[in-house]
Structure 1
Amino acid sequence: MTDHFETDDNNTWWRTPRFLISAVLVVLLIVLGLVLWLWPDGEEQAQSLPTPIATTEVTTSEESACGLDATGGTTLTKAPDNVEWEALGALYAPSSEKHGPGKVDPETGVRSCYSHTPEGALLSVTNMLTSSNDPQLLLDTSEALILEGPGKDINSGRIQQRIAEGSASTVPMQIAGFRLLSYTGDKATVEVVAAVDDGTEKAYITNSADLIWQDGDWRFAFRDNGDAGPVSGNVSDLSGYITWGPQDG
Structure 2
Amino acid sequence: MSSSFEDEADGPQSLWARRGFVLAALFVGLLVVAAVVLFTLPGSDADPVEVGQGRQTTGGAAPSPTPTATEPESSSCDLPAGDQTVPVVAPTETQWELVGEMVAPTAPELHGPAVSSPVRSCFARTPVGALYAAVNVAATTTLPNAERILTEDLGAEGAGRDVALENLPTEGSSAGPSSEAQVQVAGFSFLSYTEDETVIDLAMLAATREQVVTVHTPVTLRWEQGDWRLVFGPEGAPFPRLQAAPSLAGYVPWSGT
**What TM-score results when the alignment is normalised by the length of structure 2?**
0.72
- Taking the aligned partners of 2:200 and 2:161, their CA distance within structure 1 comes to 18
Once the 2 structures are TM-superposed, how far is the Cα of residue 116 of structure 1 from its aligned partner?
A: 0.6
Residue number in structure 1 paired with 2:206: 196
Q: 1:216 aligns with which of 220, 226, 248?
A: 226
Once the 2 structures are TM-superposed, how far is the Cα of residue 120 of structure 1 from its aligned partner?
A: 1.0
Q: Which moved more, 1:61-70 or 1:190-199?
A: 190-199
* Kept after mapping to 2: 8 A contact 1:209/1:230: no
Once the 2 structures are TM-superposed, how far is the Cα of residue 187 of structure 1 from its aligned partner?
A: 1.1
Task: Give the direction of change, closer, same or farther, for the CA distance of 1:168–1:156 in structure 2 (3 Å limit).
Answer: farther
Task: Give the direction of change, closer, same or farther, for the CA distance of 1:16–1:77 in structure 2 (3 Å limit).
Answer: closer
Is 1:71 matched up with 2:79?
no
Residue 205 of structure 2 aligns to a residue whose secondary structure is: strand
Q: Percent identity?
A: 27
Q: Which moved more, 1:56-65 or 1:179-188?
A: 56-65
Residue number in structure 1 paired with 2:153: 144
Residue number in structure 2 paired with 1:84: 95
Residue number in structure 1 paired with 2:58: 50
Once the 2 structures are TM-superposed, how far is the Cα of residue 118 of structure 1 from its aligned partner?
A: 0.9
Q: 2:123 aligns with which of 97, 114, 119?
A: 114
Residue number in structure 2 paired with 1:4: none
- Taking the aligned partners of 2:121 and 2:76, their CA distance within structure 1 comes to 10
Q: 1:177 aligns with which of 148, 167, 187?
A: 187
Task: Give the direction of change, closer, same or farther, for the CA distance of 1:157–1:78 in structure 2 (3 Å limit).
Answer: farther
Residue number in structure 2 paired with 1:32: none
Residue number in structure 1 paired with 2:110: 98
**Larger % of helix: which?**
1
* Partner deviation per Cα, 1:104-160 (whole Å, 9 max, x = no partner): 23xxx3100101111111111111110111131452243112123331133345552
- Aligned alpha-carbon RMSD (Å): 3.2
Once the 2 structures are TM-superposed, how far is the Cα of residue 165 of structure 1 from its aligned partner?
A: 6.1
Task: Give the direction of change, closer, same or farther, for the CA distance of 1:162–1:236 in structure 2 (3 Å limit).
Answer: farther
Is 1:130 matched up with 2:124?
no
Residue 177 of structure 2 aligns to a residue whose secondary structure is: coil
Residue 92 of structure 2 aligns to a residue whose secondary structure is: coil
Q: Which moved more, 1:195-204 or 1:87-96?
A: 195-204
* Partner deviation per Cα, 1:50-101 (whole Å, 9 max, x = no partner): 3552326857411111111142235220122232111123211211231100
Residue 21 of structure 2 aligns to a residue whose secondary structure is: coil
- Taking the aligned partners of 1:18 and 1:43, their CA distance within structure 2 comes to 14
Q: Which moved more, 1:204-213 or 1:46-55?
A: 46-55
Once the 2 structures are TM-superposed, how far is the Cα of residue 216 of structure 1 from its aligned partner?
A: 1.4
Residue number in structure 1 paired with 2:35: 41
Q: 1:160 aligns with which of 147, 163, 169?
A: 169
* Kept after mapping to 2: 8 A contact 1:73/1:117: yes
- Taking the aligned partners of 1:140 and 1:230, their CA distance within structure 2 comes to 18
**What TM-score results when the alignment is normalised by the length of structure 1?**
0.74
Once the 2 structures are TM-superposed, how far is the Cα of residue 240 of structure 1 from its aligned partner?
A: 0.3
Aligned residues: 220
Task: Give the direction of change, closer, same or farther, for the CA distance of 1:165–1:215 in structure 2 (3 Å limit).
Answer: closer
Residue 63 of structure 2 aligns to a residue whose secondary structure is: coil
Which stretches in structure 1 are left out of the alignment for 5+ residues? Answer: 1-10, 30-39
Which stretches in structure 2 are left out of the alignment for 5+ residues? Answer: 1-17, 39-53
